[in-house]
Amino acid sequence: MPGTVSSTTMSPASAISPNRRAFLAVSARFGLASTLFPGALYTLAAQAQAASPVASPELPKITPEMIDAAAALAGITIATDQKQMMLDGLNEQRSGYAAIRKLHIPNSVPPAYIFDPLPPGAKVSTEKHDPVYSTAVATLPKNLDDLAFATIPELADLVRTKKVSSMDLTRMYIARLRKYDPMLHFSITITEDRALAKAREADSEIAAGKYRGPLHGLPWGAKDLLAVKGYPTTWGAGGFEKQTLDADATVVQRLDAAGAVLIAKTTLGALAMGDKWFGGRTRNPWNPKQGSSGSSAGSASATSAGCVAFAIGSETLGSISSPSTRCGVTGLRPTFGFVPRTGAMALCWTMDKLGPICRAVEDCAIVLTAIYGPDGQDLATRDAAFNWNADFDWKSLRVGYIAREFEPDKPPSPTEKQAEPSTAEEKKKREKHEREMAAYHARRAYDRKYDLAALDKLRTMGVNLIPVTLPDLPYGAMTALLTAEAAAAFDELTTTGRDKLLTEQGIEDWPNDFRIARFYPAVEYVQANRARTLAIRQVSELFHQVDVIVASSNSDQLLATNLTGHPAIIVPNGLRGADAPAPPEIDTGDDDQIGGSGTPVSITFLGGHYQDAKLCAFARAYQEATGFQKLHPKLAASS
């Protein structure tokens, strides 16, 4: 299963993201201090073992003093007689951890439960129809490189009619990968031998009249958390650079069956966080001084740069949305359970999703048609239908918009203001923070103009926009589910100390997050999942009122809908003008909308569970009305 995401787009004032979690901030923000007791005991016992002058394979017995220390950390009080009653049970409970760890469970083994995003009474159509694609008649340019930014229907028409060969396209895209990778750092492995063999096979089949469909002969890139036999599958992480897996991921097998040609394994932030991987940082083709965001960093960057016809990414919490926004491409995050994750790295079994990153909406629909549906291995995948119809009457859809997301940011209330600094150093830090926040809000205000322009455009298209309200629930408090599952997925990294091999070691990075997750008790995990059930039911209610919801890409909906499993499609929404606020001097990865003249913005459309085809039909109508998908960066190869 795929672990995905990572650099989220939550604003500093809205929600703490799972990859931006400092322990004290989480405790204060979400009230978790009183839930840390079991993890605190384990940690205190481990520390006592480490402090012992004689190394011992056994953790020391939990003592009343340890319970006192853990209780103080947890902010609770336990009476003396209660502590004595607890000791035997706590020691016995802890003894079971080692037995399970001795199993050395691989990342590919899921927990013995299956997440279902559907609320009670939901019905899913399983009746499948042949897809209906748009008609594209493409002209072969004199310079083959001029096809680099063509859509899938355009490329498919040229390949089907034998105006261009798969081999020519494959060689052209591989040459572009090599040309621009030194500047953008978007590929980990170019699968040239495999690609040329598949391209040769595609050309032979097409010549013999055995055309497999619109992906036949088209080169693509796979986020390097997808297993490909015979090549490294690195997960973007130090310590995994030479890892190989002995079978192709299901998505890879399905794209092979569709005749597509895998040419590269693209970068991802280490273990699906952000855009920094063991080889450096993947860059934004529109402004290479900025990162591409992540974690589907290379898939978005390579697609944006015209170095693949399409790519596969994955999302847990923003990993398709964020880089699609930053790189100005179209990303489809399907309904949870639409695409099997077999052969993909697991990060969070109840949130991971695989999806296409392309130039245009119909490209995404074509790719999803090839990869969706059960495989008998990923038991979370549902037998639901995705019936793409390019002729669907999108005007029949009811369209809502999250009204709050299109309003100006509210100034902080008096209760949110901090006390005046008492020292010169504190004053300096306060002034720096205030400057950063003022710049952040200026960028937000500038970008909101593009969101509002999207609403205006939809109205000129005849869309009657219905205001809706995102349910008021503590979505941020539920994100600890992600890091708890991620810490389990990579348990041995923490317990063996191999987490030191990961490139990023800061307060906001996986090694620290995994350690923090040790303090998250099972009871609170279950409670957060119960809150998630409420979120699923209440967000799903919105789709009884409307079929599609328009949302700002940089908003709370990203967190909410990743928790509830609803689909989203992120489409380019123009370029920032010369009057755009300047971006920060350093791209920290904290904010995807750091802006700057000539960089892309996006808008997001949301849909009901397994209503991805209708969602794509509406997004395609908007895209055809605006034409923003036709914009692409002007690149110069690095020296």
Which of 223, 265, 276, 353 does the annotation list as catalytic?
Answer: 223
293 labelled catalytic: no
Task: Give the active site residue among 295, 322, 324, 540.
Answer: 295
Separation of alpha carbons 300 and 325, rounded Å: 9
Helix 166-184 vs helix 152-160: angle between axes, to the nearest 10 degrees?
A: 150
Q: Give the separation between CA 276 and CA 332, rounded to whole angstroms.
A: 22
Pairwise CA distance, residues 358 & 370, whole Å: 14
Contact residues for 98 (Cβ-Cβ < 8 A; gap 6+):
none
27 is catalytic: no
Which residue, chain included where needed, has tokens 């319970």? 67
How far is 263 from 638, CA to CA, in rounded Å?
Answer: 21
CA dist., res. 129 & res. 126, Å (int)? 10
Which of 314, 319, 552, 602 is the catalytic position? 319
The values of phi and psi at residue 176, to 5°, are -70, -40
List the beta bridge partners of residue 353: 315
223 is known as an active-site residue: yes
Q: How many whole angstroms separate alpha carbon 399 and alpha carbon 51?
A: 61
| Bridging pattern class, strands 568-575 and 280-281 | unpaired
Sequence-ordered alpha helix ranges (H) in 161-208: 166-184, 192-207
User: Which positions ≥6 away from 449 have C-beta within 8 Å?
Assistant: none
- Helix (DSSP H) and strand (DSSP E) numbers for the chain: 19, 15
* Adjacent-strand bridge partners of 333: 568
Residue 91: CB atoms within 10 A of its CB come to: 16
Q: What share of the chain is helix, strand, coil (3-state, %, to 5)?
A: 40, 10, 45
DSSP letter for each residue of 255-281: HHHTT-EEEEEE--STTSSSSEETTEE
Residue whose structure tokens are 């039909």: 617
Side chain identity, residue 424: A
- The Cα–Cα gap between 398 and 382 comes to 26
Residue with tokens 């929600």: 15
Catalytic positions, written as ranges: 223, 295, 319
